[in-house]
Structure 1
Amino acid sequence: MPRNVSPAFISEKSKQENAPIFLYVLEKYDSINDLRIAGFDQDVTYQGEVYSKFPVTHEFIGENNQGQIDQVKVRLGNVSRLIQLYLEQFDLRGKKVTIRMVWADHLTDPDAHMDDVFYIDSYTADQKNVEFTLTGKFDVLGVDLPARRYARNYCAWKFKSPECGYIGGEVSCNKTKQRCKVLENYHRFGAFPSVPTRRIYVM
């Protein structure tokens, strides 16, 4: 879709000495909460929301000859394993991601920004980085979502689902193999211990 920008944003963009700040929003990653991070050296507050500083970059966002936004790859540092934890606990395919450009000296202006909206098509993780491929909504909806995520230590099944098979009295499970063993249900553990350590495959 065409980008709508305010006069304040255009004015700041024209100043050569002013560098932009990129903010990222992963909406409802767990069906309820948003993840907000800033590609900056300190936390950023904009429109009343706090974006936590994080090592994140993305490719140049360019428009094709139809005025549509091309696919974009976003790379996040994985040294802390924070993002990988989200990948192992939640299926992020199809989740909405907004990349917002703002200006450091106009953070009090709610209109001085430009948004590009994407949806997660795929992602991979290794010991250093997590890389997301983002695309337009219809591109994501036009392909089959993967049936499984191949993780090493986290079960893919919904607790007490037919795939999980647990029929006992416990009401929660953190989806780790340790918990599955405690529940004496390890034979139905929906992960792949043979996957190399700290790596996730999305098929």
Structure 2
Amino acid sequence: MIPKKMQIDITKIEQGAIVNLYDLDLSKIVGNKTIIRFHNGVNELRRPITWQGNIYKPYPIKAQGFERSGQGASNRPTLTASNTGGLLNGLIANYEGMIGAIVTRHEVLVKYLDAVNFENGNKYADPYCEVVSNYVIEQVKQQTSQFVTLELALPCETDGARIPARIIIADTCSWIYRSANCGYTGGAVADEFDQPTNDITRDKCSGCVNGCKLRHGEHGILPFGGFPTAARIK
């Protein structure tokens, strides 16, 4: 919902400048509260913009596809950001492409920004006067040493789901040995190198298809937790 004051402002012939501020919330995939705030610019004092008491650091970004439409399929906006220093490469590598992370876009008229952004303060400062849009990262659309492009989707379209639900690993089972997913409950079979053993303390699955066959049979139904055919896709 657009605040009433902003509704009045944006209908004027001469509108004030609007800044777009972004929150990248990694909390759900990192496990603790981790929010990165950024904006493609600085304030009047040539310092990071402050909005609602939060600091939005200047970072080279290009946002596209955020246009609103009441017809047809919803858009898939993208954020293209500089990859200088490898910051995004590190986040993508460590947090599974950041898939599912929440991106919040704040549209704010400059006239309502916090007073600390201006040399002489701001009598119009209003932390509640903004338009907020929430998205989730759908995929890493492009990744190079210079920049990264992230494709976003509306939360209602993903319903918090990830496809695939697990990381695709070709030759390694992701199940815990003897867990419900593994399904094996018998005696000792082999060690972690698939060498036969009768010692239950040395009984460990190698995590490979061969280890699964040793326990469930050469021609049995294997509950293997990997994706063997993925290695054949080029």
Q: CA deviation at 1:14?
A: 3.9
CA distance in 1, matches of 2:151, 2:165: 14
2:19 alignment counterpart? 21
1:135 to 153, 160, 171: 153
Taking structure 1 as reference, are residues 51 and 149 closer, same or farther at Cα in structure 2, changes over 3 Å only? Answer: farther
CA distance in 2, matches of 1:18, 1:136: 28
CA distance in 2, matches of 1:51, 1:149: 35
The SS at the match of 1:138 is helix
2:131 to 114, 122, 142: 114
1:57 alignment counterpart? 62
Q: CA deviation at 1:148?
A: 3.6
Q: CA deviation at 1:65?
A: 3.1
Q: Which range moved further: 113-122 or 41-50?
A: 41-50
1:84 alignment counterpart? 89
Report the number of matched residues.
Answer: 152
TM-score, normalised by the number of residues in structure 2: 0.56
CA distance in 2, matches of 1:67, 1:50: 36
Deviations 1:85-115 (A, max 9, x none): 2111113111111111112221131122111
Deviations 1:115-146 (A, max 9, x none): 11111100131022111100012333466136
- Structure with higher RCO (Cα < 8 A, 6+ apart): 1
Q: CA deviation at 1:8?
A: 2.2
Find the structure with the greater CA-based Rg: 2
Contact persistence 2:100–2:162 (CA under 8 A) = no
Does residue 108 of structure 2 align to residue 102 of structure 1? yes
Q: Which range moved further: 50-59 or 27-36?
A: 27-36
Which segments of 5 or more consecutive residues in structure 1 lack a partner in the other structure?
Answer: 151-157, 164-187, 189-203
Deviations 1:28-66 (A, max 9, x none): 352321111112234111111111111112114223435
Give the residue type in structure 1 aligned to 2:164: L
1:5 alignment counterpart? 2
More helix by share: 2
Taking structure 1 as reference, are residues 69 and 13 closer, same or farther at Cα in structure 2, changes over 3 Å only? Answer: farther
Which segments of 5 or more consecutive residues in structure 2 lack a partner in the other structure?
Answer: 114-124, 178-206, 208-234
Contact persistence 1:56–1:77 (CA under 8 A) = yes
When the two chains are superposed, the root-mean-square deviation of aligned CA atoms in Å is 2.9
Deviations 1:151-178 (A, max 9, x none): xxxxxxx9xx969xxxxxxxxxxxxxxx
2:39 alignment counterpart? 38
TM-score, normalised by the number of residues in structure 1: 0.64
Contact persistence 1:8–1:111 (CA under 8 A) = no
The SS at the match of 2:84 is coil
| Percent of pairs with identical residues | 16
Give the residue type in structure 2 aligned to 1:63: R
More strand by share: 1
